[in-house]
Amino acid sequence: MSKPTIIVAGNGMVGYKFCEKLLARSLQFQIIVFGEEPRHAYDRVHLSEYFNGKTADDLSLSTHSWYADNGITLHLGDPIQEINRAQKTIHSLQGVTLHYDYLILATGSSAFVPDIPGIEKEGVFVYRTIEDLELIKACAATAKSGAVMGGGLLGLEAAKALMDLGIAEPHVIEFAPRLMPRQIDSAGSNMLQLKLNQLGLHIHLNKSTAAILGDKKIDALRFNDDSLLVVDMLVISAGIRPRDELAKLAGLHVGTRGGVIVNEKMQTSDEHIYAIGECALYEGVIYGLVAPGYEMADIVAAHLTKGDKSFYGYDMSTKLKLIGVDVASFGDAFITEPDCRTILFEDTHKGIYKRINISNDGKQLLGGILIGEAEAYNMLLQTVNNKIVLPPDPEDLILGSRGGAASDGAGVMNLPDDALICSCEAVTKAAICGAVNEQGITNMDGIKKCTKAGTGCGGCVPLVKDLIAGTMKANGQYIKNVVCEHFDYSRQELFDLVKINGLKNYDLVLDHYGKGDGCEVCKPVVASILSSLWNDVIVKQEVIQDSNDRFLANIQKGGTYSVVPRIPGGEITPDKLIVIGQVAKKYGLYTKITGGQRIDMFGAHLNDLPAIWEELIDAGFESGHAYGKALRTVKSCVGSTWCRFGLHDSVTFAIEIEDRYKGIRAPHKIKGGVSGCVRECAEAQSKDFGIIATEKGWNLYVCGNGGSKPQHAQLLATDIDNQTVIKYLDRFLMFYIKTADQLTRTATWLNKLDGGMSYLKNVVINDSLGLAEQLEEEMQALVNTYHCEWKEVIESPTARKRFSHFINAPDEKDPHAQFEPMREQVRAKEW
Amino acid sequence: MDTTLTTNWILACYVDDVPDNGGSCIKHGDEQIAIFNFSRRGEWYATQNLCPHKQQMALSRGMIGSAGDSCEPKVACPFHKKTFSLLTGECLGEDDMAIKTYPIKVENGKVFIGVD
């Protein structure tokens, strides 16, 4: 007998999840999927990350081969057009007609587009699919100002996308008197608005759009109060509309405001047809989140395999980061007195608003709202869902314990075993603890593979990590982010220990705080710490330096080195250019302009390095520290001295900054940029720190990154003067140097920093830790003790002696280092 | 086994030529030999200078240290941080490769290596 056929209409996240869930339960079905979009299922929740550099492939939930491997027939770009319920067949756009035993409607939703005059104009978009994003991206390339219609969750996501695309003047227009009206109250909305304003987003509430103006293309919006807003583009995000047209055509029951009506088994009015996800209407509600959609998928999979599972509505609690601001809403967020008691905390200085609603007897948490800081979200949600009895001082839940016995995060371990930790994948506490206990899982990646927890929206990840740590601790296993097997300390702890105890060399540090004989991991870490603290000449402890730092040059294929003299801000005189040319010619070096506006000379034998540097130093060059985990370059555009658009002298400022921080060792390399106007020719926003001229001063961005995972720098301060830029940079860089793990760039450091950018802003600008003065002093001490490492070497005969390949034949070069000709220069022989 | 009976000892260099807890390279005919002065343990080691991973003459420039509870002495190649036991020459990672080790002794400030 052939397998019963299941046809899935829709290849979105929920349709995909259904296939996955069904396969997990049974292989007794023939599955056929029809999708309207040209690609296979992708992650729509993280769609805005497409603008942050994620590709369609990154967002993809599976591969083409996944469907084939699991025996699923996939029809892409071919939506189902018609259902013949009498014959149980479907008919697709491309003319495929197939019989089904069961049909699953997972057609999702489309953007609700209000009927406003001018809505058809060019430059008006919706925000739903990767194709929409591509259209928006193309338009944003030339647009200066843009607006989003709709201040809900998706609208703010779209606004973030506009900002990421470099729209100078982003606006959000909301019909209601507050932002995110479904999730947060007006006090929370005010706080969110305050924070978003600071980030450069203009917010217009109580605004109803009467018309979209423009000839062929949009050029302004007119509101009901007759005011105008000039914009180059508009993204509509005014809500969703269930895609129920197919169901309607087939005569299935649909709601008056859209949505295919389903029962608790997700069956439509035809028992052989199910509807799941955003097209399904259960008891008058459309569930517009992914987690309930996944739950519905599981219920259908269960029902088809004779399992017993029903849908009874879904908790719509949510936590997300909107344009860098934490926003969370959970349980009954809106219940008010006298039906409950409310505890409020509001801090306009830091932009934090927290509200919790507790039962009148003070024993149960009913719900709440968190803006600006939502660390407690997971625990609060668990407290609501599991009806955990509140402590006598429930305000501690949002304020933290102030004195008395500190809560040490033991909270997660007190949750009941059936507490739902990952709601997207329905993973309980017991499943996670079980994976740790029985399968020896010790990290998040392992849990993801083993249980799928944390693979959906990712919101539960902190809670899962706490559970892993808690379970391991309960088992007597100790976990810590240690440097390596020789030091049971994190880099930050080691930094403090070395500092407090005034230790000046590696062996002392190893004797006091380590074990064994060290290794290639901890030696450079300690070397970097010693250098960041005492700024001694690094070649005095040559054997603990990474090879590049040991020989003050970058090792290349074949064992030769490259040489990079410092060219601050990328400015160089003709005379110095000539010297570089002469040196390169004399020593047979391949020359190339680097990405950081300087010149790299490749192919130098170890033996030649001191002589090369002697000539460079004579000509006024100094080390470029291209070999070190240290400041590399501060890239600049030419600025106001020549450029007709330049607002300030970016080159002079870049040179000043490069000279200030040169030579300082850090957990990883540091790059900077200074642009003389908003055109940003120095690409400063891709650097660890970026400085961009404004009419009134400079905007300072931090924690950007090129490399394999590019990340834009984030705005730290606006319109500040030169002295303030340097003051904030001193604090920022020193704070990074002292607290980051080894080999962690500023971008990754920020991503891991609790509280993220708002915390960093507080430390650097508001001095929330009371450390600002100390950080500035420590930085100044490093600046004051700057030395050119190459100058120290060429002046010391013993140091020079180390630059020979054979210790018993000091004048002979390594015969193994070989070159091949290439375009009138040489290249290293391929290995 | 007493290697002195079967080994041809050559004078490689002087103790001062090799930095404390670091390495240097000597030339012996066409051979390149890395010498490590593991002064923290008062031990000396000699291995081939060639890292077999990418055929680079680099091991003498690598960092030395120890691995595991048994404190196996090791060297890490500066190119891709492949690590090798200084005792057995075995690669300590998952790669199936090894380096040659040489007998070594220090007498009166002179470092001798046993060659074939």
Give domain status of residue A444, yes or no. Answer: no
A673 and A768 belong to one structural domain: yes
A514 and A613 belong to one structural domain: no
A620 and A659 belong to one structural domain: no
CB contact under 8 Å between B65 and A520, yes or no, is: yes
pLDDT of A178:
93
Q: Using the predicted structure, report yes or no on whether residue A793 has a pLDDT greater than 90.
A: yes
Question: What is the phi/psi pair of residue B42, to 5°?
Answer: 65, 30
Instruction: Give A411's pLDDT tier (boundaries 50, 70, 90).
Output: low
The helix or strand, by DSSP H or E, that contains position B85, with its residue range, turns out to be: strand B83-85
> Which ipTM did the prediction report?
0.91
Q: Full-prediction pTM beyond 0.80?
A: no
**B contact set with A (CB within 8 A):** 12-13, 17-22, 24-27, 32, 35, 38, 40-41, 50, 54-58, 61-68, 71, 73-74, 76, 78-79, 81, 83
CB contact under 8 Å between A517 and B12, yes or no, is: no
Q: Token pair 């998040």 is at which residue?
A: A444
pLDDT of B33:
95
Q: Give Cα A436 to chain centroid, integer Å.
A: 27
Which of A546, A812, A831 lies nearest to residue B56, judging by beta carbons? A831
Please report residues of A whose CB lies closer than 8 A to that of B85: none
Instruction: Give A773's pLDDT tier (boundaries 50, 70, 90).
Output: very high
Instruction: Give A479's pLDDT tier (boundaries 50, 70, 90).
Output: low
Span A760-778, mean pLDDT? 90
pLDDT of A481:
72
Give domain status of residue A196, yes or no. Answer: yes
pLDDT in tens, A159-213: 988 988 889 899 999 999 999 988 899 999 999 999 899 888 999 999 999 999 9
pLDDT in tens, A81-140: 999 999 999 999 999 999 999 999 999 999 889 999 999 999 999 988 888 888 999 999
Give domain status of residue B17, yes or no. Answer: no
A200 and A166 belong to one structural domain: yes
Which of these three, A213, A238, A263, is where a domain ends? A238
Q: How far is B5 from chain A (nearest CA, A)?
A: 26
Q: Is A788 annotated as a binding residue?
A: no
**CA–CA distance, A10 with A446 (Å, rounded to integer):** 31
CATH number at residue A752: 3.30.413.10
Give domain status of residue A324, yes or no. Answer: no
**CA–CA distance, A666 with A632 (Å, rounded to integer):** 11
**CA–CA distance, A456 with A426 (Å, rounded to integer):** 10
- Helix extents (H) in A234-344: 245-249, 290-304
Which of these three, A304, A322, A338, is where a domain ends? A304
A639 and A779 belong to one structural domain: yes
Say whether residue A605 is in contact with chain B using an 8 A CB cutoff.
Answer: no
A634 and A624 belong to one structural domain: no
Average pLDDT in chain A:
90
Give domain status of residue A425, yes or no. Answer: no
Q: Is A677 annotated as a binding residue?
A: yes
User: How many CB pairs below 8 A link A and B?
Assistant: 98
Give domain status of residue A408, yes or no. Answer: no
CATH number at residue B41: 2.102.10.10
Q: How far is A545 from chain B (nearest CA, A)?
A: 8
Residues of chain A above pLDDT 90, percent: 62
Which of B17, B27, B40 lies nearest to residue A517, judging by beta carbons? B40
Domains contained in chain B, number: 1
CB contact under 8 Å between A520 and B12, yes or no, is: no
pLDDT in tens, B49-90: 999 998 999 999 999 999 988 899 999 999 988 999 999 999
A47 and A92 belong to one structural domain: yes
pLDDT of A405:
40
Q: How far is B1 from chain A (nearest CA, A)?
A: 27
**Angle, vertex CA A549, rays to CA A548 and CA A552, nearest 5:** 80
Q: How many CB atoms lie within 10 A of CB A113?
A: 15
Domains contained in chain A, number: 5
**CA–CA distance, A15 with A80 (Å, rounded to integer):** 14
Please report residues of B whose CB lies closer than 8 A to that of A524: 63
Question: What is the phi/psi pair of residue A742, to 5°?
Answer: -65, 150
Give domain status of residue B12, yes or no. Answer: no
A637 and A724 belong to one structural domain: yes
pLDDT in tens, A2-44: 789 999 999 999 999 999 999 999 989 999 999 998 888 888 8
Which of these three, A238, A269, A293, is where a domain ends? A238
- For residue A173, what are the domain limits? 124-238
Span A772-797, mean pLDDT? 93
pLDDT of A730:
96
In terms of Cα–Cα distance, which of A368, A361, A372, A364 is closest to A343? Answer: A368
**CA–CA distance, A337 with B60 (Å, rounded to integer):** 75
Give domain status of residue B13, yes or no. Answer: no
A179 and A137 belong to one structural domain: yes
pLDDT of A755:
74
Contact B60, B48 (CB under 8 A): no
A71 and A179 belong to one structural domain: no
Please report residues of A whose CB lies closer than 8 A to that of B92: none
pLDDT in tens, A653-681: 999 999 999 999 999 999 999 999 999 99
Contact A763, A771 (CB under 8 A): yes
Q: Using the predicted structure, report yes or no on whether residue A229 has a pLDDT greater than 50.
A: yes
Q: By CA distance, what is A830's nearest residue in B? A: B54
pLDDT of A409:
41
**CA–CA distance, A60 with A46 (Å, rounded to integer):** 11
- For residue B87, what are the domain limits? 22-115
Contact A483, A493 (CB under 8 A): no
A159 and A260 belong to one structural domain: no
Span A700-714, mean pLDDT? 89
Give domain status of residue A474, yes or no. Answer: no
Contact A276, A297 (CB under 8 A): yes
Q: Using the predicted structure, report yes or no on whether residue A779 has a pLDDT greater than 70.
A: yes
A588 and A637 belong to one structural domain: no
Give domain status of residue A428, yes or no. Answer: no
Span A464-476, mean pLDDT? 82
Q: Is A139 annotated as a binding residue?
A: no
pLDDT in tens, A299-345: 999 999 988 889 988 888 888 877 778 999 999 999 988 899 999 99
Give domain status of residue A333, yes or no. Answer: no
**CA–CA distance, B92 with B98 (Å, rounded to integer):** 9
**3-class DSSP state of A476:** coil
What does the block give as tokens for A355?
């509200």
Say whether residue A511 is in contact with chain B using an 8 A CB cutoff.
Answer: no
